[in-house]
Structure formats: C-alpha cells, structure tokens
C-alpha cells in the first residue's frame, strides 16, 4: 500500500523553510537553526541583498542555505518556495513563518486599505504557508507560527495588528489538531517587545525605554532570544510541545 506522505529524514538532512528570513527575528532564526545543523531556505519578499547577506553568513560558518523570493500571500509563490526546498535539500522538516507586517493606528483613524494590506500578509500569508507546511512536512517535523504578546497586553493603536495575530493563534491551534497522527507539531511564538527594525521604527527613545522596563527582566528582547525559543520548538527535544502559544516576553503581563 502506497501513501503520499513525505518520508522521514535522516539525521543529517533536516531542512527548515523560514519565511521573512532576511532580517530581524527571521534572520536570527535562520542563523540559529543553521548552527544546529539544519539546511535553511531563507525566504524574503523584496530585500534580496539582505537575504543574500543571511545566506552568506550561514554558508561562511559551514552551514547550508539558499535564498528564495516569495510573497507569502501568493499561494503559487509559496508552493514554489517549498518546491525549491525539496529540490535543493530533499524535503522539509521545519517551517517557521516569521514574515509579517506591522501598522499602528487607533481604531477610529485606521485606513482600511492599511488593514487589508496587513491582513494579506499576516492572515492570508499565514494560511498559505500553513497549507504547504501541512502538505509537505515530513514525520517528526514542526511548524512555528508567529503572533504577538500584545494579544494579551492590548496596547492602544495595535488593534489591526492584534486582530490578525489573534486569528493566527486560533488557526495554529486548529492545525495542530488537524495533523493528528502525522507526528508533526504546530506551535505559535508570541514575542513581547523585541529590538528589531520593525519594532523600533517610529518610536521615540522615551517610548522604547518605557517598553524595555515593562517586563520583570527590564529589557527588550533580542532576535536571538526568540530564535532560541524557535530552535527548541523545532528540535527533537521540543517535540512533546504541541498546540501551544508561547509568550516569549520576559514576563510581560
């Protein structure tokens, strides 16, 4: 009897697809997983130079990585992204969906065109990547989606962003249950304030300082902090964690 399920990898051939892998948290995830021995497909939307820098750093350190351009909201482009992973490295064992947009506005003033663009990447994109992950991940594999701790903190001006990320959290929990029997985990990481260009843009030094002091650990997170959480969730050691939302925020309530 034949099946269409992907075959399990050998120990030396684990492969990760990381969307939004050219900068910020995505880049840190790519570099951390590469240090852990995974071959990396570095997805990017527009910044080819940044993706090439990420790939060059991984390869210079003895890892294996390739850049692949794809708009995560374009399902055909996402399918091609996974095709490239299979063609170059033989399969897919970890998918980390770091790609995302952020737009801040009070609800009353929000331009709904901005809302549509935000949803296109953060919600439709999450669905497109999740579909391919569900179809392509090999047994023992892991999918990590990204939310935000602001789903819990409910900061003003984050209404559109939180609406999309709340949807992501719910979909990831459902997907974990839909993949019963496949030996595949699905979890969501929800960072708190993290020192990336996306987070720092448009904020005053006073705002940044106030947010840095909010967690009990009294600092901003770093992309590397989040990458270590992702590395655990995609590792054999983290495989018993499934269907969870992990708030990686230094204790921010």
Q: Go through the chain and tell me how many residues it has.
A: 253
Q: Is residue 1 part of a domain?
A: no
Domain containing residue 55: 15-246
Span 233-248, pLDDT tens digits: 999 999 999 999 999 9
Count the neighbouring beta carbons within 10 Å of the beta carbon of residue 150. 22
Give buried/exposed letters for 151-183 (b at 16+ CB in 10 A, else e): bbbebeebbbbbbbbebbbebbbebbeebeebe
Residues assigned a catalytic role: 161
Quick: pLDDT tens for 42-95.
Answer: 999 999 999 999 999 999 999 999 999 999 999 999 999 999 999 999 999 999
Residue 11 confidence (pLDDT): 46
b/e string for 83-117 if b means 16 or more Cβ within 10 A? Answer: ebbeeebbbbbbbbbbbbbbbbbeeeebeeeebee
For residues 140-149, give the mean pLDDT: 98
Q: 3 falls in which pLDDT band (50, 70, 90)?
A: very low
Asked, for residue 241, whether it belongs to a domain, the answer is yes
Q: Strands of 65-69's sheet, edge to edge? A: 65-69, 39-44, 15-19, 92-97, 137-146, 185-191, 245-248
Q: Assess if residue 251 is contained within a domain.
A: no
* Separation CA 14–CA 140 (nearest Å): 10
CATH number of the domain bearing residue 82: 3.40.50.720
Q: Evaluate whether residue 171 is within a structural domain.
A: yes
Within a domain: 238: yes
**What's residue 7's pLDDT?**
59
CA distance 202 to 38: 35
The total domain count for the chain is 1
Q: Say if 71 falls within a structural domain.
A: yes
pLDDT tens-digit map of 178-222: 999 999 999 999 999 999 987 888 789 999 999 999 999 999 999
Task: Answer yes or no: is 141 within a domain.
Answer: yes
pLDDT average, residue stretch 110-135? 98
Contact 92, 81 (CB under 8 A): no
Structure tokens at 171: 């979909």
Residue 11, SS3?
Answer: coil
Per-residue pLDDT band for 8 (boundaries 50, 70, 90) equals low
φ, ψ for residue 82, nearest 5 deg: -70, -35
Give the mean pLDDT of the chain: 94
d(CA 195, CA 103): 16
In a domain, residue 9? The reply is no
Q: What is the pTM of this model?
A: 0.93
Rounded Cα distance between 148 and 207, Å, is: 18
Q: Identify which of 19, 33, 241, 250 has the alpha carbon closest to the alpha carbon of residue 130.
A: 19
């Amino acid at each position: 009897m034949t099946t269409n399920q992907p075959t399990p990898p050998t120990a030396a051939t684990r492969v990760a697809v990381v969307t939004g892998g050219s900068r910020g948290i995505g880049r840190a995830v790519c570099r951390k997983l590469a240090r852990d021995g995974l071959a990396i497909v570095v997805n990017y939307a527009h910044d080819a130079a940044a993706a090439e820098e990420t790939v060059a750093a991984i390869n210079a350190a003895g890892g294996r990585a390739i850049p692949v351009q794809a708009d995560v909201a374009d399902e055909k482009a996402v399918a091609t992204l996974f095709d490239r992973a299979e063609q170059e490295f033989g399969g897919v064992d970890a998918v980390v969906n770091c790609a995302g947009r952020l737009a801040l506005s009070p609800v009353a003033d929000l331009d709904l065109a901005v809302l549509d663009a935000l949803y296109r990447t953060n919600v439709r994109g999450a669905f497109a990547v999740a579909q391919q992950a569900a179809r392509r991940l090999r047994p023992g594999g892991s999918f990590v989606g990204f939310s935000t701790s602001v789903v819990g903190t409910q900061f003003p001006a984050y209404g559109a962003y939180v609406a999309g990320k709340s949807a992501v959290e719910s979909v990831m929990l459902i997907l974990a249950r839909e993949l019963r029997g496949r030996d595949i985990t699905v979890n969501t990481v929800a960072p708190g304030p993290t020192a990336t260009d996306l987070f720092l843009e448009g904020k005053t030094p006073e705002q940044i300082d106030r947010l840095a002091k909010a967690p009990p650990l009294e600092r901003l997170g770093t992309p590397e902090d989040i990458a270590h959480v992702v590395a655990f969730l995609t590792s054999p050691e983290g495989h018993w964690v499934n269907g969870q939302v992990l708030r990686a925020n230094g204790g921010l309530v």
